[in-house]
Amino acid sequence: MKAEILTVGSELLSPGRIDRNAELLIEKLGSIGLPVVFRATVGDDRELLVETAKQAFGRSDLVIVTGGLGPTSDDVTRESFAEAMGLELVLDESVLAAIRRRFSKRGYTMPDVNRRQAMVPLGAEVLTNPVGTAPGLWIKGPRHTEVILLPGPPAEMVSIFEKHVQPRLSSPGEVFRTQRLLVAGLPESAVEEKIGALYRDVDNPHTGLLASGGQVEIRLTARGGDTIQAEAKLERLVSPIRRALGQHLFSESGETLEQVVGRLLTAAGKTLSIAESCTGGLITHRLTEVAGSSRYLERGFVTYSNESKVALLGVPGELIESEGAVSESVVRAMVRGARERAGTDLALAVTGIAGPSGGRAEKPVGLVFIATGDARGEDVSRFQFPGGRARVKQWTAQTALNLLRLRLLLE
C-alpha cells in the first residue's frame, strides 16, 4: 500500500514554517510499515487543491490531507476534495451538535461560520476530534483510493490519527516495533561504512539513516506476528549494530546527548562547569534543558571577549596575545580556569571561529578547540567543522557534549 501526504496552507509555504504534520505522519505511517511515496504542500487555493486531489487518486492507495478544515473562508480543503470526487456536501446534524456542545461548554454560542465544519461529503465517515472542533473525514475516493482529511493543528491531527486511523491501517495479525539508535562523533558516511553491510539486504527490520545536527539516527522498524516476534526481529539486527558502533552509540531509548551526560555525571556524583566562547552559552543551555541539572551543573561562563577570558577565567593576557583566542593553549587555560574558579570536579571549554568573518588561512572559519579537564589534567581536541555560523555552533556543542560523555565513560 502506497501512502501520500498532502499538507494544506499558504502559511506553510512561507519561510521558516516547518511542516510538522508531514513529519509526524511520515513517522507514524513508517511505524506501522506504510511507506510514504509522495509528499506535497499546497497553498489555500481551491482550484489548485481540486487539481492536486485528482492527481492523487490512482497515484497512491492512501492520501492523507491535513489543514484547511477550519471555519474561515481560507479553509477550502473540504470543498475542494468533495468537488474533486464529485460528492455533494451535506450537513451532518450530529457533528453540528458536537460543535455546539463544545462552544456551550465554554460558555459561548457557536458562531454561524462554524456550521461549515459540520458539512460532510456524502458517504464520508466522520472521525471525531477528541481535542478540537473540526472532525476528520474518511472518504472512499475514486480508483480505490482511501482519502483521509485531518485538521491542521498538529495536536488535533495526531489525536484523530491515533484514535481512528492507525488502528485500522495496521494489518490484522501484524505488529510493528520501532527503535531509534543515536550516534555521535561519526559522520553519516562513516556510520554507513560500519553498519551498511549488516542491514543493506535485510528488509525486516527496515532500516533508515538520518543525519542532522552532528548526530546520526538509525531507525529500525520490525514487523512480526506479535510483540515478542517483532522485538526479537529487531534485536537480531540491533545487537550486531551495537557491537559495530561501540562507544559511538550513545542512546537506544531516545535519550539526548545532554540527558546521557547528565545521567553519567549524576551516577559518578561529579560536578561540572563550562567555559564557552564561540557557542555563546549553547552548551550550558542544552545541559539545563534537562530537569535536575542543578545537581551537577555548577556554572557556565560565557567568555566571548578576550577581556572576559582574562577576567573570569584567569587566562593570561599574553597567551591570548601570542597564540590567539582560538588556540590549543587558550582553550587549555580556559578549562583549567573554569574548573578552579567554579570549584568543580570536571570542566569543559570551547573556543572557535564561527564565521562568516574572522577566518584566516592558518585559522579558517570552522576551526574549533574543545577541552575537557579534571584533577588529572586536560585533554584538548582540534576540529575543522564545515558550514555556516549556526552549523559550526551546533556541531561544536554536540561534539563538546560527546567528548564529555566519552571522558565520563572512562571514570
Residues binding ligand ATP (CB under 6 A): 7-9, 12, 19-21, 66-70, 75, 134, 151-154
Residues making up the chain, counted from first to last: 411
CA 383 vs. chain centroid, Å, equals: 25
Work out how close the CB of 5 gets to ligand ATP at its nearest, in angstroms, rounded to a whole number: 9
For residue 130, which of 160, 108, 154 has the smallest C-alpha distance?
160
- The partner in contact with residue 274, picked from ligand ATP, Mg ion, none with C-beta cut-offs of 5 to 8 angstroms by kind, is none
CA distance 220 to 180: 6
CA–CA separation, 80 and 47 (whole Å): 7
Binding-site size, Mg ion (CB under 5 A): 2
For the beta carbon of residue 269, count every other beta carbon within 10 angstroms.
10
**Peptide bond just before 71 cis, omega within 30 deg:** no
Using CB under 5 A, which of the segments 55-63, 74-82, 138-146, 228-236 binds Mg ion? Answer: 74-82
Whole-number Å distance between alpha carbons of 283 and 404: 11
| Cell 574543545 belongs to residue | 370
- The nearer residue to ligand ATP, 153 or 205, going by C-beta atoms, is 153
Q: Interface with Mg ion includes 75 (CB under 5 A)?
A: yes
70/355 with CB nearer Mg ion: 70
CB closer to ligand ATP, 21 vs 273 = 21
Q: Which does 134 bind (CB under 5 to 8 A by kind): ligand ATP, Mg ion, none?
A: ligand ATP
Q: Which is nearer to ligand ATP, 12 or 63 (CB)?
A: 12
CB neighbours of residue 196 within 10 Å: 13
Pairing of strands 62-66, 3-8: parallel
Distance in angstroms (rounded) separating the CA atoms of residues 266 and 300: 18
C-beta of 19: minimal distance to ligand ATP in Å? Answer: 5
Q: How far is the CB of 11 from ligand ATP (least distance, A)?
A: 6
Q: Site residues for Mg ion, window 43-72 (CB under 5 A)?
A: 70
- Smaller CB distance to ligand ATP: residue 33 or 152? 152
DSSP sequence for 328-376: HHHHHHHHHHHHHHHT-SEEEEEEE---SSS--SSS-TTEEEEEEEETT
Shortest distance in whole angstroms from residue 253 CB to Mg ion: 37
Report which residue's Cβ sits closest to Mg ion. Answer: 70
Out of Mg ion, ligand ATP, none, which partner does residue 299 contact, by CB within 5 to 8 A per kind? none
Q: How far is the CB of 62 from ligand ATP (least distance, A)?
A: 17
Question: Which residues have a Cβ under 8 Å from the Cβ of 362 and sit 6 or more positions away?
Answer: none
What three-state secondary structure class fits 281? coil
Min CB(47)–ligand ATP separation in Å: 17
Q: How far is the CB of 9 from Mg ion (least distance, A)?
A: 8
* Contact stretch for Mg ion (CB under 5 A) within 73-81, 256-264, 272-280, 367-375: 73-81
151 binds, among Mg ion, ligand ATP, none (CB under 5 to 8 A by kind): ligand ATP
Cis bond before residue 316 (omega within 30° of 0): no
- Chain residues binding Mg ion by CB under 5 A are 70, 75
